[in-house]
Amino acid sequence: MRVAGSQAQRNDVMLIAHLSDFHVCVDAPETSLVRPDAVDRARKVVADVAGFSPKLDAVMVTGDLTDGGTVQDYELFASVIAPIDAPVFVVPGNHDRREGLRAAFADRLPFGDRRFLNYEATCGAIRVIGLDTQIEGRIDGGLEPDTLDWLEERLSQPAEGHTYILMHHPPCPSGLAALDGMALTRGGDRFGELVRSYEGSLHILAGHLHRPYQTIWNGALATVGGSPAFQFALDLHPGATEPGTDDEPYFYFIYRLGHDGETVHTRPVSLQALKE
Ligand SMILES: [Fe+2]
Task: Give 37-58 pLDDT, tens digit per residue.
Answer: 999 999 999 999 999 999 999 9
Mean pLDDT of 88-97: 98
3-state DSSP helix/strand/coil % of the chain, to nearest 5: 20, 25, 50
Letter for the amino acid at 57? Answer: D
For residue 7, what pLDDT band results from cuts at 50, 70 and 90? low
Distance 146 CA to ligand 1 centre (A): 24
More confident residue, 113 or 73: 73
Q: What confidence score (pLDDT) does residue 274 get?
A: 47
Distance 21 CA to ligand 1 centre (A): 5
Mean pLDDT of 183-197: 98
Give dist(CA 168, CA 90) in Å, integer.
Answer: 9
Distance 62 CA to ligand 1 centre (A): 9
pLDDT in tens, 211-236: 999 999 999 999 999 999 999 999 99
Of the candidates 158, 126, 129, which has an alpha carbon nearest to the alpha carbon of residue 57?
126
Distance 128 CA to ligand 1 centre (A): 21
- Is residue 56 helix, strand or coil? coil
- Contact predicate 139/182, CB 8 Å: yes
Task: Report whether pLDDT(9) > 60.
Answer: no
Give dist(CA 248, CA 232) in Å, integer.
Answer: 9
Distance 210 CA to ligand 1 centre (A): 6
Distance 192 CA to ligand 1 centre (A): 23
Give dist(CA 34, CA 99) in Å, integer.
Answer: 23
Distance 185 CA to ligand 1 centre (A): 16
* CA–CA distances in Å: residue 274 to residues 33, 39, 40, 243, 270: 18, 11, 7, 26, 9
Task: Report whether pLDDT(6) > 70.
Answer: no
- Contact predicate 180/142, CB 8 Å: no
Letter for the amino acid at 131? Answer: L
User: In this structure, what DSSP letter does residue 156 have?
Assistant: T
Share of the chain above pLDDT 70, in %: 95
Buried b / exposed e over 32-51, threshold 16 CB at 10 Å, is: eebbeebbbbbbbbbebbbe
Domains contained in the chain, CATH given? 14-269 (3.60.21.10)
61 phi, psi to nearest 5 deg: -125, 110
189 phi, psi to nearest 5 deg: -65, -45
